[in-house]
Amino acid sequence: MTLQSLLVSKDEQAAAVLTPILTGFGLGVHCCGYADALGRIADQKFDAVIVDYDDPHSAALVLQNAYHASPGNNTVSVALLSDKSKVRSVFGAGANFVLYKPMSEQQAEATLRAATALMKRERRRSFRVPVQIPLQLQVENGSEMEGILLDLSEDGLDLLAAQPLCPAANIRAYFCLPESDNEMRIRGEVAWANPNGESGVRFIDLAENLRDVLKAWVLRNAPEVPPEESEPVSECKLSDLSLGACYVETESPFPERSDIVLRLQAEDMEVQAEGLVRVMHPGYGMGIEFASRTAEQREQVGKFLDFLTSRPGTLPRLLITPRALAAADQYDNPPASEAEEPDDPLLLLLRSHESMDQDEFLQALQRQRNSEEVASS
């Protein structure tokens, strides 16, 4: 199943650079101007929309329509931008990636490699396998009720409950997969709900063993699902690290708000941590907040930090792969016990990046790095 991209630009040089790269990554490429773009978006599903910001008003309209036309809002968007000072406003308008004009083949290839990885991941996540099995359901601080599981994916499910659910409610669900003895005990958040009791749920803090079981089950029952990438997409250089966050330098940063998995490899040790991209600087790097809602997640990040601090001068291999274009709201809505401001300057800097452009952020990062070196000396 070929991924499809829409390139909205009048710039022939940009099209000449982008088209062979997109084709090389296995994407179909459809080129048009602003006037035709809205009709194409309404008539066809695109995995990626690449729009030139030479006309900012028309470009923003294209991005807005692409977002609303996509089921699950999972279309990956790339903005072509000549004025670097406008990058924050372009991200605010809905762009996931930015390519600066005039662009080089190397720059375009690095960015589109990361974008393609996200497209493939979103295509996998969008596949839901229909099922008709009973489940037990409990709303947080509420009573148990019965329901029917309607369909299932790697990251969520649709169900029909005996009573209507409320959007954003936290739930627990218990069911056995068809033709399997595996009991699934999951936590989730209601993404949408209808008055008849039908609701969509996205998983929260799904254990890795359950995630692996679900992936295998979906793959067996939906053979058209694209294969998962066997190799991480982005190789990075770690420049800053704390218990709650890190900053990495890479030509292929992932978008702000994307859900990623980070792997550290050095000597005979490998540590894995989950995270949210808080800030992305096109072609340069990204700041990542670690997931730390569970004891297991906190332990992994602690091992990550201990490993590096115990081996000064070690240059680890750092690999990052995407898991979702948009992370769950758990990072913005931590449990009450974790809601207080953390004593973590790097994490606080990442969370306040909206008020800074790239140069201001990197200067603040350097000042913080220098103050930590002075304190430790």
- Complete DSSP assignment for 263-297: EEEETTEEEEEEEEEEEEETTTEEEEEEP-SSHHH
Condensed to tens digits (0 to 9), the pLDDT of residues 11-25 reads 999 999 999 999 999
Condensed to tens digits (0 to 9), the pLDDT of residues 123-155 reads 777 778 889 999 999 998 888 899 999 998 888
Condensed to tens digits (0 to 9), the pLDDT of residues 263-283 reads 888 777 788 888 999 999 999
Condensed to tens digits (0 to 9), the pLDDT of residues 37-93 reads 999 998 888 999 999 999 999 999 999 999 888 766 689 999 999 999 999 999 998
- CA atoms of 107 and 99, how far apart (whole Å): 8
The whole-number pLDDT of residue 269 equals: 79
pTM: 0.77
The whole-number pLDDT of residue 210 equals: 85
Same fold, 3-126 and 129-221: no
Asked if the model's pLDDT at residue 189 lies above 80, the reply is yes
- CA atoms of 132 and 130, how far apart (whole Å): 7
CATH number of 234-376: 2.40.30.230
Residue 373's pLDDT band (boundaries 50, 70, 90)?
Answer: low
The domain segmentation of the chain, as residue ranges, is 3-126, 129-221, 234-376
How far, in Å, are 28, 37, 213, 247 from residue 229 at the CA level? 19, 30, 18, 24
The whole-number pLDDT of residue 329 equals: 59
- CA atoms of 327 and 324, how far apart (whole Å): 6
CATH 3.40.50.1000 assigned to 129-221: no
Share of the chain above pLDDT 90, in %: 48
Condensed to tens digits (0 to 9), the pLDDT of residues 84-124 reads 999 999 999 899 999 999 999 999 999 999 999 998 888 77
**C-alpha count within 13 angstroms, C-beta hemisphere, residue 30:** 18
**C-alpha count within 13 angstroms, C-beta hemisphere, residue 246:** 26
Q: Are 41 and 82 in contact (CB under 8 A)?
A: no
CATH 3.40.50.850 assigned to 3-126: no
